Amino acid sequence: QQQVKQSPQSLIVQKGGISIINCAYENTAFDYFPWYQQFPGKGPALLIAIRPDVSEKKEGRFTISFNKSAKQFSLHIMDSQPGDSATYFCAASMRVIVTDKLIFGTGTRLQVFP
């Protein structure tokens, strides 16, 4: 019930195309949904995040779409660039006692070819 399911596992996109990564969750106690980007040899870094009271959030070429009733959220990368090639993780957070428990999806390896 605390899982976050992420798909696809890998994605190949041509430069200028749209990359779409999907995530789904079961537990309605989750109240914060971030996306992380990870380059080889580095720790994940926050890319963009959304709360469940908002259906969409856009930051530059990155957009999160959130469907509360379906318990799904997705990351769209517009005009994908080779520099976007990285592993992307969705995540979901809930309050546990006085702290936060952050659960990650299994990751999507994105490759953008020129």
Positions in the binding site for other proteins (CB under 8 A):
2, 6, 9, 31-32, 34, 41-46, 49, 51, 89, 93, 95-107
97 conformational bin, left if phi > 0, alpha if psi -120 to 50, beta if neither: left
The residue count for the chain: 114
- State how beta strands 33-38 and 62-67 pair: unpaired
The DSSP 8-state label assigned to residue 33 in this structure reads E
Q: How far is the CB of 114 from other proteins (least distance, A)?
A: 26
Q: How far apart are the first and last CA of the chain?
A: 40
